[in-house]
Amino acid sequence: MPKKFAEANFRNFEFNESDGVPKEYGVTCYHWAQGKYAENCLILCGNIGNGKTHLAISAMKEVFAIRTGQSLFIPSGELFEQLIVSTYNHDNKVENIKSLVHLYDCLCIDGLERRHFTEASIENLYLLINRVYLENSKLIITTNLAPEVFKELDERIYSRLHEMSIILPFKWDDYRMREKIAYS
């Protein structure tokens, strides 16, 4: 769990019905973490600084609170880097992906963005998503990409994500900017 978000939880997230993240998003993330939905994947997508990572971590903490297993938070770029390195080192990449999914109750891939995509990283993402799909494992993705982008990237990823995900679009102003304005 990153130090920056050590204190992040549902209670210190501000919901705002008129020009911010609506309360129902918090309720949905909370219920998702408690396993109230059939969908095992939560996709928080949209604008930068909208609290996607904050809510993703809050949901992870909730999954962790009700299960005995472990959760892993991994920035998307680092995940792909690690998988590429394991390919170069002739480690068994597929085994690495399988053990990631088996080891952790809940994986969070944070900040998936277009620049991370190469042919190899898309294939790695497919292998991971497919394993999550087969194992009914819990996955959270935060991304600035619209879900339709996955359709053009890889139909196999899109189709699985479509079946197994709850998708929440974030479309508000950057919260980080709001904080600065309030201090000056």
In the complex, least distance from residue 79 CB atom to ligand ADP, rounded to whole angstroms: 16
Binding site for ligand ADP (CB under 6 A): 8, 13-14, 20-21, 48-54, 142, 175-176
Q: Are 66 and 105 in contact (CB under 8 A)?
A: no
3-state SS class at 46: strand
For residue 50, state whether it binds Mg ion (rule: CB under 5 A): no
In the complex, least distance from residue 50 CB atom to Mg ion, rounded to whole angstroms: 8
d(CA 77, CA 126): 15
49 binds, among Mg ion, ligand ADP, none (CB under 5 to 8 A by kind): ligand ADP
Residue with tokens 């129902």: 24
Q: Which two tokens stand for residue 144?
A: 């600035």
Return the closest-CA partner of residue 166 out of 28, 55, 73: 28
Residue of 28, 40, 53, 58 that binds Mg ion (CB under 5 A): 53
Q: Which residue is nearest to Mg ion (CB)?
A: 53
- List residues near Mg ion by CB under 5 A: 52-53
